[in-house]
Chains A and B, each alone.
Chain A
Amino acid sequence: MIRVNDSNGVALRFEGVGLTYPDGTEALRDVSLDVAPGEFVSVVGPSGCGKSTLLKLASGLIPETVGKVVVDRARLGYVFQDATLAPWRTVRKNVELLPELHGIEKAERRRIATEVIDLVGLDAFENHYPKRLSGGMKMRVSLARSLTLDPTVFLFDEPFSALDEITRQRLNAELLSLFLAKGFAGLFITHNVFESVFLSTRVLVMSERPGRILAEIEVPFPFPRDDELRFQAEFAAKGDEVSRALQEAYS
Protein backbone atom coordinates (compact mmCIF):
# COMPACT_ATOMS: atom_id res chain seq x y z
CA MET A 1 0.00 0.00 0.00
CA ILE A 2 1.29 3.38 -0.95
CA ARG A 3 0.57 6.21 1.37
CA VAL A 4 0.07 9.21 -0.89
CA ASN A 5 -0.53 11.92 1.65
CA ASP A 6 2.91 11.93 3.17
CA SER A 7 4.00 15.56 3.19
CA ASN A 8 2.98 18.39 5.42
CA GLY A 9 1.86 21.82 4.38
CA VAL A 10 -0.87 22.96 2.09
CA ALA A 11 -0.75 23.29 -1.69
CA LEU A 12 -4.05 25.14 -2.04
CA ARG A 13 -6.04 26.94 0.63
CA PHE A 14 -9.37 28.78 0.59
CA GLU A 15 -9.92 30.95 3.66
CA GLY A 16 -13.51 32.08 4.07
CA VAL A 17 -13.78 32.82 0.39
CA GLY A 18 -16.92 34.48 -0.95
CA LEU A 19 -17.75 35.73 -4.39
CA THR A 20 -20.48 38.15 -5.37
CA TYR A 21 -20.78 39.18 -9.00
CA PRO A 22 -21.17 42.87 -9.88
CA ASP A 23 -24.85 42.27 -10.65
CA GLY A 24 -25.37 41.19 -7.03
CA THR A 25 -25.54 37.43 -7.58
CA GLU A 26 -23.85 35.66 -4.71
CA ALA A 27 -22.01 32.66 -6.19
CA LEU A 28 -20.02 31.42 -3.20
CA ARG A 29 -20.29 32.03 0.53
CA ASP A 30 -17.65 31.42 3.19
CA VAL A 31 -15.79 28.55 1.52
CA SER A 32 -12.81 27.22 3.43
CA LEU A 33 -10.81 24.23 2.28
CA ASP A 34 -7.27 22.90 2.21
CA VAL A 35 -5.67 20.60 -0.30
CA ALA A 36 -2.32 19.16 0.77
CA PRO A 37 0.34 17.89 -1.63
CA GLY A 38 -0.49 14.31 -2.53
CA GLU A 39 -4.16 14.81 -1.75
CA PHE A 40 -6.88 14.43 -4.34
CA VAL A 41 -10.02 16.30 -3.38
CA SER A 42 -13.25 16.16 -5.36
CA VAL A 43 -16.08 18.63 -5.17
CA VAL A 44 -19.60 17.47 -6.01
CA GLY A 45 -22.72 19.59 -5.94
CA PRO A 46 -25.87 20.61 -7.78
CA SER A 47 -25.31 22.18 -11.17
CA GLY A 48 -24.95 25.94 -11.01
CA CYS A 49 -23.74 25.86 -7.41
CA GLY A 50 -20.42 27.49 -8.20
CA LYS A 51 -18.20 24.40 -8.30
CA SER A 52 -16.37 25.57 -11.42
CA THR A 53 -16.12 29.05 -9.95
CA LEU A 54 -13.91 27.55 -7.21
CA LEU A 55 -11.33 26.70 -9.86
CA LYS A 56 -11.54 30.11 -11.50
CA LEU A 57 -10.82 31.63 -8.11
CA ALA A 58 -8.00 29.18 -7.42
CA SER A 59 -6.34 29.96 -10.75
CA GLY A 60 -6.84 33.69 -10.43
CA LEU A 61 -9.07 33.98 -13.52
CA ILE A 62 -11.62 35.64 -11.21
CA PRO A 63 -10.59 37.59 -8.11
CA GLU A 64 -12.34 36.70 -4.85
CA THR A 65 -14.49 39.42 -3.26
CA VAL A 66 -14.27 38.10 0.31
CA GLY A 67 -11.61 35.98 2.02
CA LYS A 68 -8.33 34.75 0.60
CA VAL A 69 -7.02 32.09 -1.81
CA VAL A 70 -3.49 30.88 -1.13
CA VAL A 71 -1.74 28.94 -3.91
CA ASP A 72 1.48 28.99 -5.88
CA ARG A 73 0.24 29.87 -9.37
CA ALA A 74 3.61 29.42 -11.05
CA ARG A 75 3.02 25.69 -11.35
CA LEU A 76 -0.70 25.32 -11.68
CA GLY A 77 -2.35 22.80 -13.99
CA TYR A 78 -5.86 23.51 -15.20
CA VAL A 79 -7.91 21.03 -17.21
CA PHE A 80 -11.09 22.50 -18.61
CA GLN A 81 -14.47 20.92 -19.21
CA ASP A 82 -13.74 20.86 -22.95
CA ALA A 83 -10.36 19.79 -24.22
CA THR A 84 -9.89 23.38 -25.55
CA LEU A 85 -7.25 22.37 -28.05
CA ALA A 86 -6.15 24.81 -30.71
CA PRO A 87 -7.60 23.17 -33.85
CA TRP A 88 -4.83 24.60 -36.05
CA ARG A 89 -2.11 22.87 -34.06
CA THR A 90 -1.20 19.20 -34.22
CA VAL A 91 -1.30 17.10 -31.05
CA ARG A 92 2.40 17.75 -30.49
CA LYS A 93 2.10 21.49 -31.12
CA ASN A 94 -0.85 21.71 -28.74
CA VAL A 95 1.13 19.96 -26.05
CA GLU A 96 4.07 22.31 -26.64
CA LEU A 97 1.85 25.39 -26.28
CA LEU A 98 2.29 26.10 -22.57
CA PRO A 99 6.10 25.74 -22.52
CA GLU A 100 6.08 27.96 -25.61
CA LEU A 101 4.07 30.63 -23.78
CA HIS A 102 6.46 30.40 -20.87
CA GLY A 103 9.44 31.01 -23.12
CA ILE A 104 11.03 27.58 -22.75
CA GLU A 105 13.48 26.96 -25.58
CA LYS A 106 12.63 24.70 -28.48
CA ALA A 107 14.77 21.64 -27.75
CA GLU A 108 13.55 21.49 -24.16
CA ARG A 109 9.96 21.97 -25.33
CA ARG A 110 10.27 19.02 -27.65
CA ARG A 111 11.76 16.84 -24.96
CA ILE A 112 8.97 17.64 -22.48
CA ALA A 113 6.26 17.13 -25.09
CA THR A 114 7.66 13.77 -26.17
CA GLU A 115 7.68 12.63 -22.56
CA VAL A 116 4.09 13.59 -21.71
CA ILE A 117 2.64 12.46 -25.06
CA ASP A 118 4.22 9.11 -24.30
CA LEU A 119 2.77 9.20 -20.81
CA VAL A 120 -0.81 9.53 -22.07
CA GLY A 121 -0.21 6.94 -24.80
CA LEU A 122 -0.70 9.18 -27.84
CA ASP A 123 2.74 8.90 -29.44
CA ALA A 124 1.20 7.37 -32.56
CA PHE A 125 -1.05 10.39 -33.00
CA GLU A 126 1.29 13.28 -32.32
CA ASN A 127 1.03 14.66 -35.85
CA HIS A 128 -2.77 14.45 -36.04
CA TYR A 129 -4.97 17.52 -35.89
CA PRO A 130 -7.65 17.60 -33.17
CA LYS A 131 -10.52 17.22 -35.64
CA ARG A 132 -9.33 13.68 -36.34
CA LEU A 133 -9.34 12.63 -32.67
CA SER A 134 -12.09 11.07 -30.54
CA GLY A 135 -13.37 12.89 -27.45
CA GLY A 136 -11.31 10.72 -25.12
CA MET A 137 -8.14 11.26 -27.13
CA LYS A 138 -8.70 15.02 -27.13
CA MET A 139 -9.05 14.97 -23.36
CA ARG A 140 -5.80 13.03 -23.10
CA VAL A 141 -4.05 15.68 -25.19
CA SER A 142 -5.49 18.29 -22.86
CA LEU A 143 -4.12 16.36 -19.85
CA ALA A 144 -0.73 16.03 -21.52
CA ARG A 145 -0.70 19.76 -22.21
CA SER A 146 -1.23 20.58 -18.52
CA LEU A 147 1.44 18.10 -17.50
CA THR A 148 4.15 19.91 -19.48
CA LEU A 149 4.64 22.48 -16.73
CA ASP A 150 4.92 19.73 -14.10
CA PRO A 151 2.22 21.28 -11.90
CA THR A 152 2.21 20.98 -8.14
CA VAL A 153 -1.48 21.85 -8.00
CA PHE A 154 -3.87 20.41 -10.55
CA LEU A 155 -7.37 21.80 -11.12
CA PHE A 156 -9.93 19.71 -13.02
CA ASP A 157 -13.23 21.20 -14.18
CA GLU A 158 -15.49 18.22 -14.96
CA PRO A 159 -12.99 17.11 -17.58
CA PHE A 160 -14.65 13.79 -18.39
CA SER A 161 -18.31 14.81 -18.23
CA ALA A 162 -18.78 14.75 -22.00
CA LEU A 163 -17.37 11.24 -22.42
CA ASP A 164 -19.17 7.92 -22.45
CA GLU A 165 -19.05 5.83 -19.28
CA ILE A 166 -16.39 3.35 -20.36
CA THR A 167 -14.03 6.01 -21.69
CA ARG A 168 -14.60 7.99 -18.52
CA GLN A 169 -13.65 5.04 -16.32
CA ARG A 170 -10.57 4.38 -18.40
CA LEU A 171 -9.47 8.00 -18.11
CA ASN A 172 -10.18 7.90 -14.36
CA ALA A 173 -7.71 5.05 -14.07
CA GLU A 174 -5.16 6.88 -16.21
CA LEU A 175 -5.55 10.00 -14.15
CA LEU A 176 -4.94 8.05 -10.95
CA SER A 177 -1.70 6.60 -12.29
CA LEU A 178 -0.59 10.12 -13.25
CA PHE A 179 -1.51 11.26 -9.76
CA LEU A 180 0.54 8.47 -8.20
CA ALA A 181 3.50 9.14 -10.48
CA LYS A 182 3.54 12.91 -10.04
CA GLY A 183 2.19 13.38 -6.52
CA PHE A 184 0.48 16.69 -7.24
CA ALA A 185 -2.37 18.16 -5.21
CA GLY A 186 -5.63 17.66 -7.10
CA LEU A 187 -8.89 19.57 -6.92
CA PHE A 188 -11.45 17.82 -9.09
CA ILE A 189 -14.91 19.16 -9.92
CA THR A 190 -17.53 16.63 -10.99
CA HIS A 191 -21.21 15.86 -10.73
CA ASN A 192 -20.59 12.14 -10.88
CA VAL A 193 -20.63 10.61 -7.41
CA PHE A 194 -18.81 7.41 -8.32
CA GLU A 195 -16.12 9.25 -10.19
CA SER A 196 -15.48 11.37 -7.11
CA VAL A 197 -15.24 8.34 -4.85
CA PHE A 198 -12.99 6.42 -7.21
CA LEU A 199 -10.50 9.24 -7.64
CA SER A 200 -10.38 11.04 -4.35
CA THR A 201 -8.84 10.93 -0.95
CA ARG A 202 -11.61 13.29 0.14
CA VAL A 203 -14.96 14.41 -1.28
CA LEU A 204 -16.53 17.80 -0.55
CA VAL A 205 -20.26 18.31 -1.07
CA MET A 206 -21.49 21.77 -1.99
CA SER A 207 -24.91 23.34 -1.53
CA GLU A 208 -27.03 25.07 -4.11
CA ARG A 209 -26.22 28.69 -4.85
CA PRO A 210 -24.76 30.48 -3.02
CA GLY A 211 -22.31 27.58 -2.84
CA ARG A 212 -21.14 26.50 0.60
CA ILE A 213 -19.39 23.32 1.66
CA LEU A 214 -21.97 21.15 3.43
CA ALA A 215 -20.12 17.92 4.03
CA GLU A 216 -16.66 16.47 3.90
CA ILE A 217 -16.29 12.73 3.36
CA GLU A 218 -12.98 10.91 3.70
CA VAL A 219 -12.35 8.16 1.16
CA PRO A 220 -9.91 5.78 2.84
CA PHE A 221 -9.36 3.27 0.00
CA PRO A 222 -5.64 2.56 -0.52
CA PHE A 223 -3.70 3.37 -3.68
CA PRO A 224 -3.11 2.16 -6.29
CA ARG A 225 -6.79 1.65 -7.01
CA ASP A 226 -7.89 -0.45 -9.93
CA ASP A 227 -11.23 -1.00 -11.62
CA GLU A 228 -11.98 -3.92 -9.27
CA LEU A 229 -12.61 -1.33 -6.58
CA ARG A 230 -15.77 -0.25 -8.39
CA PHE A 231 -17.33 -3.66 -7.63
CA GLN A 232 -16.53 -3.72 -3.91
CA ALA A 233 -19.23 -3.32 -1.27
CA GLU A 234 -17.27 -0.56 0.53
CA PHE A 235 -17.08 1.38 -2.69
CA ALA A 236 -20.85 1.23 -3.14
CA ALA A 237 -21.34 2.19 0.51
CA LYS A 238 -19.08 5.21 0.11
CA GLY A 239 -20.95 6.18 -3.03
CA ASP A 240 -24.23 6.00 -1.12
CA GLU A 241 -22.81 8.19 1.61
CA VAL A 242 -21.82 10.88 -0.91
CA SER A 243 -25.16 10.53 -2.73
CA ARG A 244 -27.07 11.02 0.50
CA ALA A 245 -25.07 14.14 1.35
CA LEU A 246 -25.67 15.40 -2.17
CA GLN A 247 -29.38 14.78 -1.82
CA GLU A 248 -29.42 17.01 1.23
CA ALA A 249 -27.61 19.67 -0.75
CA TYR A 250 -30.64 19.90 -3.04
CA SER A 251 -33.16 20.31 -0.25
Chain B
Amino acid sequence: MTADPYDAVDVALLVKDQEQGIPLEGSEPTSSSRFRRRLKKLVAPAIVFVIFIGIWYLLSWKYLPVLMGRDSPPQFMRSILLPYPHDVVRVAYLDSGNLLEILSGLWLDTRLAFTGLAIAISIGIATAIAMSQARWVERSFYPYAVFLQTVPILALVPVIGLFLGWGFTARVVVVVIISLFPIITNTLFGLKSVDPGLDDLFALHTSSRRVRLWKLQLPGSLPAMFVGFQIAAGLSVIGAIVGDFFFARGAKGLGNLIGIYANRLQPERLWGTVFFSTLLGLFVFTIFGSLRTRLVGHWHESAGPEKQA
Protein backbone atom coordinates (compact mmCIF):
# COMPACT_ATOMS: atom_id res chain seq x y z
CA MET B 1 0.00 0.00 0.00
CA THR B 2 1.46 3.36 -0.90
CA ALA B 3 1.07 6.11 1.60
CA ASP B 4 1.48 9.22 -0.53
CA PRO B 5 -2.12 10.19 -1.35
CA TYR B 6 -3.16 9.61 2.28
CA ASP B 7 -0.30 11.50 3.80
CA ALA B 8 -1.34 14.55 1.83
CA VAL B 9 -4.51 14.77 3.90
CA ASP B 10 -2.70 14.07 7.16
CA VAL B 11 -0.14 16.74 6.47
CA ALA B 12 -2.97 19.12 5.68
CA LEU B 13 -4.42 18.32 9.09
CA LEU B 14 -1.14 19.06 10.78
CA VAL B 15 -0.83 22.33 8.92
CA LYS B 16 -4.28 23.23 10.16
CA ASP B 17 -3.11 22.45 13.70
CA GLN B 18 -0.25 24.81 13.21
CA GLU B 19 -2.51 27.60 12.01
CA GLN B 20 -4.48 27.19 15.20
CA GLY B 21 -1.34 27.81 17.17
CA ILE B 22 -0.56 24.25 18.15
CA PRO B 23 3.17 23.91 17.65
CA LEU B 24 4.31 21.17 15.26
CA GLU B 25 7.00 18.84 16.50
CA GLY B 26 10.39 20.16 15.52
CA SER B 27 9.24 23.76 15.17
CA GLU B 28 9.82 25.14 18.64
CA PRO B 29 8.44 28.61 19.31
CA THR B 30 11.09 31.30 19.19
CA SER B 31 12.62 32.33 22.50
CA SER B 32 11.34 35.90 22.28
CA SER B 33 7.73 34.79 21.78
CA ARG B 34 8.09 32.34 24.64
CA PHE B 35 9.48 35.12 26.84
CA ARG B 36 6.57 37.34 25.92
CA ARG B 37 4.10 34.59 26.75
CA ARG B 38 5.75 34.00 30.12
CA LEU B 39 5.68 37.73 30.82
CA LYS B 40 1.99 37.84 29.94
CA LYS B 41 1.36 35.08 32.47
CA LEU B 42 2.98 37.19 35.19
CA VAL B 43 1.23 40.47 34.45
CA ALA B 44 -2.24 39.51 35.68
CA PRO B 45 -1.12 38.09 39.05
CA ALA B 46 1.15 41.09 39.52
CA ILE B 47 -1.77 43.48 39.05
CA VAL B 48 -3.81 41.51 41.59
CA PHE B 49 -0.88 41.71 44.01
CA VAL B 50 -0.65 45.49 43.68
CA ILE B 51 -4.40 45.84 44.26
CA PHE B 52 -4.14 43.56 47.30
CA ILE B 53 -1.33 45.64 48.82
CA GLY B 54 -3.30 48.80 48.05
CA ILE B 55 -6.35 47.51 49.91
CA TRP B 56 -4.10 46.55 52.81
CA TYR B 57 -2.70 50.09 53.04
CA LEU B 58 -6.20 51.52 52.82
CA LEU B 59 -7.44 49.25 55.60
CA SER B 60 -4.65 49.95 58.04
CA TRP B 61 -4.55 53.68 57.25
CA LYS B 62 -8.20 54.64 57.03
CA TYR B 63 -10.71 51.99 57.97
CA LEU B 64 -9.04 50.25 60.88
CA PRO B 65 -9.34 53.33 63.15
CA VAL B 66 -12.95 53.84 62.00
CA LEU B 67 -13.82 50.20 62.67
CA MET B 68 -12.25 50.17 66.09
CA GLY B 69 -13.87 53.34 67.33
CA ARG B 70 -12.48 56.80 67.96
CA ASP B 71 -11.26 56.18 71.45
CA SER B 72 -8.28 54.13 70.42
CA PRO B 73 -5.45 55.97 68.71
CA PRO B 74 -4.87 54.63 65.16
CA GLN B 75 -1.16 54.26 65.71
CA PHE B 76 -1.89 51.82 68.55
CA MET B 77 -4.48 49.84 66.59
CA ARG B 78 -2.07 49.52 63.71
CA SER B 79 0.67 48.32 66.00
CA ILE B 80 -1.39 45.46 67.41
CA LEU B 81 -3.66 44.50 64.49
CA LEU B 82 -2.79 45.45 60.96
CA PRO B 83 0.54 47.22 60.46
CA TYR B 84 1.47 48.83 57.15
CA PRO B 85 3.03 46.38 54.68
CA HIS B 86 6.33 48.27 54.71
CA ASP B 87 6.48 47.89 58.51
CA VAL B 88 5.98 44.15 58.08
CA VAL B 89 8.89 44.00 55.66
CA ARG B 90 11.06 46.19 57.91
CA VAL B 91 10.46 44.30 61.16
CA ALA B 92 10.00 40.74 59.93
CA TYR B 93 12.42 40.53 57.02
CA LEU B 94 15.04 43.29 57.36
CA ASP B 95 15.85 42.48 60.97
CA SER B 96 18.21 39.54 60.63
CA GLY B 97 17.37 38.06 64.06
CA ASN B 98 13.63 38.03 63.35
CA LEU B 99 14.14 36.81 59.81
CA LEU B 100 16.32 33.95 61.00
CA GLU B 101 13.68 32.86 63.50
CA ILE B 102 10.98 32.81 60.81
CA LEU B 103 13.26 31.09 58.29
CA SER B 104 14.12 28.31 60.71
CA GLY B 105 10.38 27.81 61.27
CA LEU B 106 9.89 27.76 57.51
CA TRP B 107 12.65 25.17 57.13
CA LEU B 108 11.06 22.94 59.77
CA ASP B 109 7.64 23.13 58.08
CA THR B 110 9.12 22.52 54.63
CA ARG B 111 10.70 19.32 55.90
CA LEU B 112 7.45 18.40 57.66
CA ALA B 113 5.32 18.99 54.57
CA PHE B 114 7.57 17.04 52.20
CA THR B 115 8.14 14.14 54.59
CA GLY B 116 4.42 13.93 55.32
CA LEU B 117 3.52 14.17 51.64
CA ALA B 118 5.98 11.45 50.67
CA ILE B 119 4.48 9.13 53.27
CA ALA B 120 0.90 10.09 52.38
CA ILE B 121 1.58 9.48 48.67
CA SER B 122 3.07 6.05 49.36
CA ILE B 123 0.27 4.99 51.72
CA GLY B 124 -2.39 6.61 49.52
CA ILE B 125 -1.35 4.90 46.28
CA ALA B 126 -0.89 1.53 48.01
CA THR B 127 -4.32 1.82 49.64
CA ALA B 128 -6.00 2.83 46.39
CA ILE B 129 -4.37 -0.07 44.54
CA ALA B 130 -5.50 -2.52 47.20
CA MET B 131 -9.03 -1.07 47.04
CA SER B 132 -9.10 -1.30 43.23
CA GLN B 133 -8.00 -4.95 43.29
CA ALA B 134 -10.54 -6.23 45.77
CA ARG B 135 -14.04 -4.97 46.44
CA TRP B 136 -13.91 -6.16 50.04
CA VAL B 137 -10.83 -4.04 50.76
CA GLU B 138 -12.60 -0.99 49.41
CA ARG B 139 -15.76 -1.76 51.39
CA SER B 140 -13.79 -2.34 54.59
CA PHE B 141 -11.41 0.60 54.48
CA TYR B 142 -13.10 3.36 52.53
CA PRO B 143 -15.31 4.45 55.46
CA TYR B 144 -12.17 4.94 57.56
CA ALA B 145 -10.53 6.97 54.85
CA VAL B 146 -13.56 9.24 55.03
CA PHE B 147 -13.21 9.21 58.81
CA LEU B 148 -9.61 10.44 58.46
CA GLN B 149 -10.86 13.28 56.32
CA THR B 150 -13.64 14.36 58.64
CA VAL B 151 -12.12 13.84 62.06
CA PRO B 152 -11.30 17.18 63.70
CA ILE B 153 -7.54 17.04 63.89
CA LEU B 154 -7.74 18.99 67.13
CA ALA B 155 -9.42 15.99 68.75
CA LEU B 156 -6.63 13.66 67.69
CA VAL B 157 -3.68 15.80 68.67
CA PRO B 158 -3.57 14.86 72.38
CA VAL B 159 -3.76 11.18 71.43
CA ILE B 160 -0.99 11.51 68.89
CA GLY B 161 1.11 13.44 71.38
CA LEU B 162 0.55 10.83 74.02
CA PHE B 163 1.86 8.04 71.81
CA LEU B 164 4.50 9.76 69.72
CA GLY B 165 5.68 12.62 71.88
CA TRP B 166 5.83 16.20 70.67
CA GLY B 167 8.59 16.07 68.12
CA PHE B 168 8.97 15.73 64.37
CA THR B 169 7.29 12.32 64.10
CA ALA B 170 4.06 13.43 65.74
CA ARG B 171 3.80 16.47 63.46
CA VAL B 172 4.46 14.35 60.38
CA VAL B 173 1.58 12.12 61.42
CA VAL B 174 -0.71 15.16 61.45
CA VAL B 175 0.44 16.08 57.93
CA VAL B 176 -0.17 12.52 56.71
CA ILE B 177 -3.67 12.39 58.21
CA ILE B 178 -4.65 15.69 56.64
CA SER B 179 -3.27 15.02 53.15
CA LEU B 180 -4.04 11.31 52.72
CA PHE B 181 -7.70 11.39 51.67
CA PRO B 182 -7.51 13.27 48.36
CA ILE B 183 -4.65 11.03 47.27
CA ILE B 184 -6.65 7.87 47.97
CA THR B 185 -9.87 9.07 46.33
CA ASN B 186 -8.27 10.54 43.21
CA THR B 187 -5.97 7.57 42.64
CA LEU B 188 -8.86 5.14 43.15
CA PHE B 189 -10.98 7.16 40.74
CA GLY B 190 -8.17 7.00 38.17
CA LEU B 191 -7.64 3.27 38.60
CA LYS B 192 -11.32 2.61 38.14
CA SER B 193 -11.91 4.90 35.14
CA VAL B 194 -10.13 2.70 32.63
CA ASP B 195 -11.25 3.16 29.02
CA PRO B 196 -13.66 0.21 28.55
CA GLY B 197 -12.28 -0.47 25.07
CA LEU B 198 -8.73 -0.79 26.38
CA ASP B 199 -10.10 -2.93 29.18
CA ASP B 200 -11.58 -5.32 26.58
CA LEU B 201 -8.31 -5.31 24.65
CA PHE B 202 -6.37 -6.32 27.74
CA ALA B 203 -8.98 -8.94 28.59
CA LEU B 204 -8.46 -10.48 25.13
CA HIS B 205 -4.69 -10.59 25.38
CA THR B 206 -3.73 -11.16 28.99
CA SER B 207 -5.24 -12.70 32.05
CA SER B 208 -2.66 -11.30 34.45
CA ARG B 209 -4.04 -8.71 36.86
CA ARG B 210 -0.53 -7.53 37.60
CA VAL B 211 0.11 -6.77 33.92
CA ARG B 212 -3.26 -5.02 33.70
CA LEU B 213 -2.39 -2.91 36.75
CA TRP B 214 1.10 -1.94 35.54
CA LYS B 215 0.44 -1.41 31.86
CA LEU B 216 -3.15 -0.17 31.90
CA GLN B 217 -4.53 1.05 35.22
CA LEU B 218 -1.51 2.81 36.73
CA PRO B 219 -0.36 4.76 33.66
CA GLY B 220 -3.98 5.64 32.88
CA SER B 221 -4.59 6.96 36.37
CA LEU B 222 -1.55 9.27 36.48
CA PRO B 223 -3.50 12.44 35.57
CA ALA B 224 -6.08 11.78 38.29
CA MET B 225 -3.32 10.92 40.74
CA PHE B 226 -1.66 14.26 40.18
CA VAL B 227 -4.92 16.09 40.85
CA GLY B 228 -4.87 14.32 44.21
CA PHE B 229 -1.22 15.19 44.81
CA GLN B 230 -1.85 18.86 44.11
CA ILE B 231 -4.77 19.05 46.51
CA ALA B 232 -2.71 17.15 49.09
CA ALA B 233 0.23 19.52 48.53
CA GLY B 234 -1.79 22.50 49.73
CA LEU B 235 -3.21 20.50 52.61
CA SER B 236 0.23 19.26 53.70
CA VAL B 237 1.35 22.81 54.49
CA ILE B 238 -1.84 23.42 56.44
CA GLY B 239 -1.15 20.15 58.24
CA ALA B 240 2.40 21.17 59.10
CA ILE B 241 1.29 24.52 60.52
CA VAL B 242 -1.70 23.08 62.38
CA GLY B 243 0.66 20.43 63.74
CA ASP B 244 3.05 23.11 65.02
CA PHE B 245 0.23 25.02 66.53
CA PHE B 246 -0.92 22.22 68.76
CA PHE B 247 2.48 20.76 69.54
CA ALA B 248 3.51 23.91 71.31
CA ARG B 249 6.44 22.15 72.93
CA GLY B 250 9.55 21.29 70.96
CA ALA B 251 11.07 22.98 67.92
CA LYS B 252 9.32 26.12 66.67
CA GLY B 253 7.63 25.83 63.29
CA LEU B 254 5.70 28.61 61.55
CA GLY B 255 2.60 27.56 63.47
CA ASN B 256 4.33 27.98 66.82
CA LEU B 257 5.67 31.37 65.78
CA ILE B 258 2.22 32.54 64.67
CA GLY B 259 0.89 31.64 68.12
CA ILE B 260 3.76 33.34 69.91
CA TYR B 261 3.66 36.55 67.85
CA ALA B 262 -0.10 36.79 68.27
CA ASN B 263 0.20 36.46 72.06
CA ARG B 264 3.02 38.97 72.26
CA LEU B 265 1.15 41.50 70.06
CA GLN B 266 3.90 41.50 67.42
CA PRO B 267 1.76 41.87 64.29
CA GLU B 268 4.63 42.71 61.92
CA ARG B 269 6.30 39.39 62.60
CA LEU B 270 2.92 37.66 62.68
CA TRP B 271 2.03 38.85 59.17
CA GLY B 272 5.54 38.15 57.92
CA THR B 273 5.17 34.56 59.12
CA VAL B 274 1.71 34.12 57.62
CA PHE B 275 3.04 35.37 54.30
CA PHE B 276 5.90 32.86 54.37
CA SER B 277 3.54 30.01 55.14
CA THR B 278 1.42 30.83 52.09
CA LEU B 279 4.59 30.97 50.01
CA LEU B 280 5.46 27.49 51.24
CA GLY B 281 2.03 26.23 50.18
CA LEU B 282 2.43 27.83 46.79
CA PHE B 283 5.89 26.31 46.43
CA VAL B 284 4.76 22.73 47.16
CA PHE B 285 1.70 23.15 44.92
CA THR B 286 3.83 24.46 42.05
CA ILE B 287 6.32 21.61 42.35
CA PHE B 288 3.56 19.08 41.85
CA GLY B 289 2.06 21.12 39.04
CA SER B 290 5.29 21.11 37.08
CA LEU B 291 5.88 17.44 37.90
CA ARG B 292 2.47 16.71 36.42
CA THR B 293 3.19 18.70 33.27
CA ARG B 294 6.50 16.89 32.90
CA LEU B 295 5.12 13.39 33.46
CA VAL B 296 1.72 13.46 31.75
CA GLY B 297 1.59 16.77 29.85
CA HIS B 298 2.89 15.25 26.63
CA TRP B 299 0.00 12.81 26.33
CA HIS B 300 -2.89 13.93 28.52
CA GLU B 301 -5.43 16.30 26.98
CA SER B 302 -6.04 18.67 29.88
CA ALA B 303 -2.42 18.91 31.03
CA GLY B 304 -0.78 19.98 27.77
CA PRO B 305 1.15 23.24 27.76
CA GLU B 306 -0.96 24.61 24.91
CA LYS B 307 -4.09 24.40 27.07
CA GLN B 308 -2.57 26.67 29.70
CA ALA B 309 -1.62 29.40 27.26
Is B195 within 8 A of A84, CB to CB? yes
Is B9 within 8 A of A167, CB to CB? yes
- Bound complex: CA A76 to CA B219 (Å): 26
Q: Taking the nearest CB of chain A, how far is it from the CB of B43, in angstroms? A: 29
- Bound complex: CA A50 to CA B197 (Å): 17
Q: Taking the nearest CB of chain A, how far is it from the CB of B309, in angstroms? A: 16
| Chain A residues within an 8 Å CB radius of B195 | 84
Q: Which residues in chain A, 109-133, are within 8 Å of chain B measured between CB atoms? A: 119-125, 128-132
- Bound complex: CA A80 to CA B298 (Å): 25
Say whether A200 faces chain B, with CB atoms less than 8 Å apart.
Answer: no
Is A177 within 8 A of B9, CB to CB? no
Say whether B300 faces chain A, with CB atoms less than 8 Å apart.
Answer: yes
Q: Which residues in chain B, 21-67, are within 8 Å of chain A measured between CB atoms? A: 25
| Chain A residues within an 8 Å CB radius of B7 | 121, 124
| Chain B residues within an 8 Å CB radius of A89 | 299
Give which listed residue, B1, B197, B203, B219, contacts A177 with CB less than 8 A.
B1
Q: Which residues in chain A, 176-206, are within 8 Å of chain B measured between CB atoms? A: 177-178
Q: Which residues in chain A, 81-107, are within 8 Å of chain B measured between CB atoms? A: 81-82, 84, 86-89, 97-98, 100-102
Give which listed residue, A84, A131, A134, A137, contacts B201 with CB less than 8 A.
A84
Give which listed residue, A101, A120, A125, A130, contacts B1 with CB less than 8 A.
A120
Say whether A237 faces chain B, with CB atoms less than 8 Å apart.
Answer: no
Give which listed residue, A60, A101, A134, contacts B10 with CB less than 8 A.
A134
Say whether B205 faces chain A, with CB atoms less than 8 Å apart.
Answer: yes
Say whether B72 faces chain A, with CB atoms less than 8 Å apart.
Answer: no
- Bound complex: CA A89 to CA B299 (Å): 8
Say whether A156 faces chain B, with CB atoms less than 8 Å apart.
Answer: no
Is A101 within 8 A of B202, CB to CB? yes
- Bound complex: CA A177 to CA B5 (Å): 15
Known: A87-B299, A121-B6, A129-B299. A82 touches B197 (CB 8 A): yes
Is A101 within 8 A of B205, CB to CB? yes
Say whether B13 faces chain A, with CB atoms less than 8 Å apart.
Answer: yes
Give which listed residue, B9, B25, B197, B222, contacts A80 with CB less than 8 A.
B197
| Chain B residues within an 8 Å CB radius of A98 | 205
- Bound complex: CA A78 to CA B5 (Å): 27
Q: Taking the nearest CB of chain A, how far is it from the CB of B224, in angstroms? A: 13
| Interface residue range, chain B | 20 to 34
Is A131 within 8 A of B299, CB to CB? yes
Say whether B134 faces chain A, with CB atoms less than 8 Å apart.
Answer: no
Number of interface residues of A (CB under 8 A): 38
Say whether B296 faces chain A, with CB atoms less than 8 Å apart.
Answer: yes
| Chain B residues within an 8 Å CB radius of A87 | 220, 299-301
Is B299 within 8 A of A170, CB to CB? no
Known: A88-B296, A177-B1. A170 touches B204 (CB 8 A): no
Say whether B281 faces chain A, with CB atoms less than 8 Å apart.
Answer: no
Say whether B159 faces chain A, with CB atoms less than 8 Å apart.
Answer: no
Say whether B282 faces chain A, with CB atoms less than 8 Å apart.
Answer: no
Say whether B304 faces chain A, with CB atoms less than 8 Å apart.
Answer: yes
Is B10 within 8 A of A129, CB to CB? no
User: What is the interface of chain A, defined by CB distance below 8 A to chain B?
Assistant: 59-61, 76, 78, 80-82, 84, 86-89, 97-98, 100-102, 119-125, 128-132, 134, 136-137, 167, 170, 174, 177-178
In the A-B complex, the 9 residue pairs with the closest CB atoms:
A121-B3, A84-B197, A101-B205, A129-B299, A101-B206, A88-B219, A134-B13, A88-B299, A80-B197
Q: Can you report 23 A-B residue pairs in the complex whose CB atoms are below 8 A from each other?
A: A60-B204, A76-B204, A80-B200, A82-B197, A84-B198, A86-B198, A86-B216, A86-B220, A87-B220, A87-B299, A87-B301, A88-B296, A89-B299, A97-B215, A101-B202, A101-B206, A119-B1, A121-B6, A123-B3, A125-B10, A132-B17, A167-B9, A177-B1
